[in-house]
Amino acid sequence: MKKCLFLTGILLTLLTVNSFAQWPGYFYGFQLLDENGKNIDSTNTGFKMKTVLCKECDGLILSIKECDDKLTWRFYAGGNKNLEKTNGLEIDKIADGEVSETMTIEFPASMTGGTNPYYANLYIGTLKFRKGKYSVKFPKTAEEWDSLKELKICQLSYMDVTFLDISEYQNEK
C-alpha cells in the first residue's frame, strides 16, 4: 500500500510540475525592415518566411518565430546532430499575390571563437530586406568574441535567454 501511494505521489508530481528538457541548439535574433524602413512583423502580409534546412541536415529542427516585442525575430536551429552546419531563412516579398523578390539569410553554426568556444545565441541587429543572399558575419579574433555585450531579448516563458551582440560586424564588407 505504501509503495502504491509513493508511486502515485511521484506520478502526480510529474504531471503537475512544469519541466523542460534541455535540447541542444541556438537562436539568432534580428529585426527586419522593408525598403521604406518599416518593421516587418507577423501581421505584414507583404512578406513570407520559410526556414531552409541544409541538404545533409536530417534530424535538425529549424523555426522562425516573432518575439513578444513584435519587433524582433528569433531563428532557431536545434537537434542532436548537424548543429555545425549553415542553414537559412528565405524571406519572400509578395506583390499581387506572387513572389517578386527573395532574400536569403545564411545562418552559420553559432560556435563562438572566444577562449571558451560554445554554441551561443547571437543577435545580428537590424537587417533591411534586399534581394539576394545575406551571410551573417562573425568577430574575427578571440578578443572580439570575449568582449561581446550580452543582451536579454526574446525571453521565453520557461528559460532566461541571453544573446551575444554581433550586430556591429554585420555592416562590414
For the stretch 61-90, pLDDT in tens is 999 999 999 999 999 999 988 899 999 999
**Domain count along the chain:** 1
Find, among 141, 73, 157, the residue nearest to 107 by Cα: 73
Residue 5 included in any domain:
no
What percentage of the chain carries pLDDT values higher than 90? 73
Number of other CB atoms surrounding residue 18 within 10 Å: 6
Residue 15 located in a structural domain: no
The DSSP bridge pattern shows strands 61-66 and 72-78 to be antiparallel
Average pLDDT over residues 92-117: 95
User: Does residue 13 have a pLDDT over 80?
Assistant: no
Question: Domain range holding 80?
Answer: 25-171
Does residue 172 have a pLDDT over 80? no
Phi-psi region for residue 79, left (φ > 0), alpha (ψ -120 to 50) or beta?
left
Q: Is residue 59 part of a domain?
A: yes
Per the CB < 8 A criterion, the answer to whether 66 and 10 are in contact is no
Q: Is residue 149 part of a domain?
A: yes
**What is the DSSP secondary structure assignment for residue 168, as one 8-state letter?**
G
DSSP of 130-159: -SEEEE----SSHHHHHTPPEE--S-BTTB
Residue 43, in any domain of the structure: yes
Residue 2: predicted pLDDT: 58
* pLDDT on residue 23: 63
Q: CA 146 to CA 30: how far, in whole Å? A: 21
Whole-structure pTM value: 0.84
Burial of 28 from C-beta contacts in 10 A (0-12 / 13-18 / 19+)? buried
